[in-house]
Structure 1
Amino acid sequence: MKRLIVGISGASGVIYGIRILELLRETREFELHLVMTRFARINIEIETDLSPKYVESLADEVHSDKNQAATISSGSFKTEGMIVAPCSMRTLSAITHSMSDNLLTRAADVVLKDRRRLVLMPREAPLHLGHCKLMYEAAQLGAIIAPPMPAFYNRPETIDEIINHSVGRVLELFDIDLGILKRWEGHKAEKSRAVALQSAGEKPEQPNGKRLVTQTKEI
């Protein structure tokens, strides 16, 4: 069974890490290793109706961020890589500067040094020059920077749809396709479909089969 590490740091957006765990858990194809920081646990209770214990139940192995002797702290423990979702600027800085001051940043450093895939989902806005430099330097080290940017060509109507799109894009970086993405088919294809429906006196449909409205819906 393939192993994947999921790190959840203290930035806003813990739902991204949780959703990754939920989706991968359903596949039963991955041995999931989870490490959360103290502020990640606090944010789970602030931002969701879930508990840290529920999030832990989604993983096969839960590691304390203080346990530098954990399996995932060694390169000899083979994994497919690691996702840090969300990735705080403090965590990004520690990874970029190879600080390894807790298990999350140590595991990320191991993934980088062994040339495995490290995907970081930084959550901060606006960004000052220091933040931008950190992302640039992390990318130079080999990390993939994948901020959770919402797409709107798929006309999302719920927060879940926005979350799933970003999560789906990240999982595809590990060649994991769970069928949760609405893929762009090109402007001509979308326009032709809309014109055909309008010619028939119908309103164009959204990708999920719902009729479009002329005004923006609240999410």
Structure 2
Amino acid sequence: MSETVCLALTGASGMPYGIRLLECLLGAGCRVQLLYSQAAQIVARQEMGLELPSRAAELQATLRERYAALPGTLAVFGREEWFAPVASGSNPPDAMVVCPCSMGTLAAIAQGLADNLIERAADVVLKEGRRLVLVPRETPLSAIHLENMLRLSRAGAVILPPNPGFYHRPQSVEAIVDFVVARILDQLRVPHALMRRWGEVDAADGGAARAPTA
């Protein structure tokens, strides 16, 4: 049975990470439950020229058409759809990722708030002992940010800032994005071939070890 992953897009910078992650999850055959905030609509337009319609049903139709060739399935829910599966501990996803994760969303989750579906879904995932991965994009970090991250880490969440490595010598922005997305997929235990792994042997290179990417 394929994994069910809840992916939330919020208003932090870094929308290319979230959209690429969506593509990779669907490509891996996952069932994706997509949530998005109003601020995410603004960031998607600014960073990618991507229009995320306000109506969840319209966005779902658009994305299903865009990713029709991929084996996974997609359902999109609005921020106030309290009858969505992710709103209840009786039907939680296997894992949830907030990518990108704004500091406002991170703070709300850290305090156990549930004023919208994104916050409620994260609360459900934590209380049900499922994996929650937060990808916060902010710098520098204040003491408040750090304390919220520590609180969430102690509660079982994974804090995964989108800090790319450069030892694999990326030649494009896409390669930098894939580095971060690969780390997220690893946390979800979703197979991928985005990056060469540390110590892998490439038969085509006569048994030479591949470039490190850990």
Same fold (TM over 0.5): yes
Given candidates 85, 108, 123, the residue that maps to 1:109 is 123
2:6·2:93 contact (CA, 8 Å) conserved in 1? yes
**Structural mapping, 1:1-219, within 5 Å:** 1-27=2-28, 29-53=29-53, 56=60, 57=63, 60-185=74-199
SS in 2 for 1:173: helix
- When the two chains are superposed, the root-mean-square deviation of aligned CA atoms in Å is 2.1
Q: State the SS of the aligned residue for 1:15.
A: helix
Identity, in percent, stands at 37
Q: Is the 8 A contact 2:96 2:132 kept in 1?
A: yes
Partner SS for 2:122: helix
Post-superposition offset of 1:55: 6.5
Larger radius of gyration: 1
Q: TM-score by structure 1 length?
A: 0.81
Please say if residues 135 and 145 of structure 1, whose CA atoms lie closer than 8 Å, have aligned partners that are also in contact: yes
Q: Distance in 2 between matches of 1:139 and 1:8?
A: 20
Deviation at 1:49, TM superposition (A): 2.6
Tell me the TM-score normalised to structure 2 length. Answer: 0.82
Q: Give the number of the structure with larger relative contact order, counting CA–CA contacts within 8 Å between residues 6 or more apart.
A: 2
Aligned AA (1:16): Y
> For the structure 1 residues 175 and 156, does the alpha-carbon distance in structure 2 shift closer, same or farther, using more than 3 Å as the test?
same
- The 2-side partners of 1:2 and 1:125 are apart by 32
Query: Which one-letter code corresponds to 2:131 in the other structure?
Result: R
Helix, strand or coil at the partner of 1:34:
strand
Q: Please report how far the alpha carbon of residue 145 of structure 1 lies from its aligned counterpart in structure 2 after TM superposition.
A: 0.2
Q: 1:161 & 1:82 partners in 2: Cα distance?
A: 24
Question: For 2:139 and 2:196, how far apart are their aligned partners in 1?
Answer: 26
After superposition, what is the alpha-carbon deviation per residue over 1:29-76, rounded to whole angstroms, capped at 9, x for unaligned?
211100000000111111003221596415611100122232110111
In structure 1, C-alpha distance between the alignment counterparts of 2:150 and 2:21, rounded to whole Å: 25
Measure how far apart 1:78 and its partner are: 3.6
Instruction: State the one-letter code of the partner of 2:196.
Output: K
Structure 2: segments with no counterpart, 5+ residues: 65-72
Separation in structure 1 between the aligned mates of residue 108 and residue 22 of structure 2, nearest angstrom:
24
- Number of residue-to-residue matches in the alignment: 189
Q: Which amino acid aligns with 2:118?
A: L
